[in-house]
Structure 1
């Protein structure tokens, strides 16, 4: 059983550590930090569900330094997640499930990590939450954007406070925002690459704005004026049976490094995604929200090239081949109109 630590005050050393690898000296195990504020209904924030994504930790440090001599405007609960992977600078350790795939409602809850997260949810939902924020980074070149699982008013307003770019998704399941959406407005914020000051500042400002917000206003978010909303239609992975590379011409699938520049840009039909080894049978695996394999709906292979079959927008393309193997190559998205 993975221990869950609980703290009611900022532990000594938390604000002094310089990177996530040092966090285990302060918190040897996953930790819930409960801090009382002026408004009692708490904001719930999760950081380091992926151990190599440190912006959440840095943002919380910045925020707690700001209020070191003052009471928080609102009660705050912070869950510090995969402390063990953070020590090694990895998304997750080998043999570990992804800490953002084991939340209630997913298919990977039957593990020690799943039991840990179930306990976290039980404890933080013992009182009514104001909102939930899960802070992440990308490994590829992406804008800062918010991810929501419902198109309800409060969720859209929450997104608008972070920025114009919003992704609506229903899969994968087992993620924090999808689980917490059952209890309160919930969002995942993607803050660019790790270690960058701009991401830290943006995340800290967003959390601070929620600490100050008294209630969600009766305000209708207008899609074309306030938000650019995209809907994830498919997840693209590379089967374990096939090798892949950006540089090795002998790999079963050779990816195009230039595609990283296309994140959140609409690509035309016929856009080149990869080359396949001559005479081989390698291809992507593509699954939609219904968990239906749909490669042939979105891609075609011709003359050793994998090309897009219809205009779509990719996201989360990264040059980090280890992350691609652990998670996915990219997501495919379409724009949606909130007024429909």
Structure 2
């Protein structure tokens, strides 16, 4: 199921994400040589509707027709979903939720990618994504360690630390090398493409990733404390439909803003049951800590900062409503 190549197929760099199926049979790992042998691993299109990573990498490779400054291992993920502009096809798992565990051929494919890269001793790992709502460009890490912070802040001073879900690419690669996920805003924005291209280019130029502590003033670090999903059986909307939970039309404007307790997230009917479920990093239900129903509104119970809020209802149903974050103060030993 995994195609492995050691060169760029003819015509690949002239191909958009939606047409990659014309050149590649499916998920493809391409190993390219460079002056420094330990490869930078870059994954793109784990979600087929998030094409910024592919646009950035093909632009970068077009600039480096000769030798790369460092070896590059490029994983092009969900080619089939990219053809249709979907996060994943209806009969597929989410390609960024299967890097741990088993049960599907896709789980085995991701294990093969990890094992191939383990043998190549990767220098660092970058997973490039988009999101649907209004969010700043930011980096995510799964380890509180200086090399991870230095790699992340090469992309953005805004860094989010999370450990759930634990089935993502960056967490699997964190066992091999410094690994980050970068969120580059919404698809189709050249600013995101250019930001991702410059980041990958800068990472390829690094001789090493610093091991020393990062200065506190160089990074705004947040910690994901809860994942918020829509409760089972609850209908949702954003456009005035008659549903159980009517989200604010501009709900994505709340992303990365520190909300005061009592902030309205959406509207509910009389006698409604709690329409969302919040789970912390250990999987415990913490809904009552963060949300309350009052005056036919769903409101926050404590000050909190959300990310990934969107009115794209397909994403909300398929993934989650949002993540809740708090500022994280590093201890000296963690810096």
Paired with 1:11 and 1:185, the residues of 2 have a C-alpha distance of: 29
CA deviation map 1:274-330 (0-9, x unaligned): 111222324101111000111101111122211101100000111211111111111
Which of 305, 314, 330 is 2:297 aligned to? 305
- Return 5+ residue gaps in structure 1 as ranges: none
- Bigger mean CA offset, 326-335 vs 250-259: 250-259
Paired with 1:148 and 1:157, the residues of 2 have a C-alpha distance of: 11
Give the superposition deviation at 1:30. 0.5
Give the superposition deviation at 1:196. 1.1
Q: Per the alignment, in what secondary structure is the counterpart of residue 107 of structure 2?
A: helix
Partner of 2:259: 267
Partner of 1:254: 246
Paired with 2:298 and 2:260, the residues of 1 have a C-alpha distance of: 14
Paired with 1:129 and 1:144, the residues of 2 have a C-alpha distance of: 25
Partner of 1:55: 52
CA deviation map 1:90-123 (0-9, x unaligned): 001112111000002xx5x321110111111111
Which of 265, 269, 287 is 1:277 aligned to? 269
* 2:25 is equivalent to residue 28 of structure 1: yes
Corresponding residue pairs, total: 332
Paired with 1:204 and 1:219, the residues of 2 have a C-alpha distance of: 26
Could you tell me whether the CA contact under 8 Å between 1:250 and 1:277 is conserved in 2?
no
Could you tell me whether the CA contact under 8 Å between 2:159 and 2:219 is conserved in 1?
yes
Q: Per the alignment, in what secondary structure is the counterpart of residue 289 of structure 1?
A: coil
Could you tell me whether the CA contact under 8 Å between 2:274 and 2:293 is conserved in 1?
no
Paired with 1:217 and 1:174, the residues of 2 have a C-alpha distance of: 27
Partner of 2:109: 116
Give the superposition deviation at 1:172. 0.5
Could you tell me whether the CA contact under 8 Å between 1:140 and 1:319 is conserved in 2?
yes
Partner of 2:77: 81
Could you tell me whether the CA contact under 8 Å between 1:5 and 1:32 is conserved in 2?
yes
CA deviation map 1:228-257 (0-9, x unaligned): 000000011112411000123410111112
Q: Per the alignment, in what secondary structure is the counterpart of residue 163 of structure 1?
A: coil
Partner of 1:44: 41
* 2:313 is equivalent to residue 316 of structure 1: no
* 2:13 is equivalent to residue 7 of structure 1: no
Q: Per the alignment, in what secondary structure is the counterpart of residue 70 of structure 2?
A: strand
Partner of 1:65: 62
Paired with 2:199 and 2:241, the residues of 1 have a C-alpha distance of: 44
Paired with 1:42 and 1:113, the residues of 2 have a C-alpha distance of: 24
Partner of 1:217: 210
The two structures, once aligned, show a CA RMSD in angstroms of 1.1
Paired with 2:200 and 2:267, the residues of 1 have a C-alpha distance of: 43
Partner of 2:99: 103
Partner of 1:327: 319
Paired with 2:128 and 2:232, the residues of 1 have a C-alpha distance of: 29
Which of 90, 109, 125 is 1:94 aligned to? 90
Provide the TM-score with structure 1 as the length reference: 0.95
- Return 5+ residue gaps in structure 2 as ranges: none
Paired with 1:94 and 1:243, the residues of 2 have a C-alpha distance of: 20
Provide the TM-score with structure 2 as the length reference: 0.97
Paired with 1:71 and 1:249, the residues of 2 have a C-alpha distance of: 56
Structure 1 residue runs of 4 or more that deviate by more than 3 Å after TM superposition: none
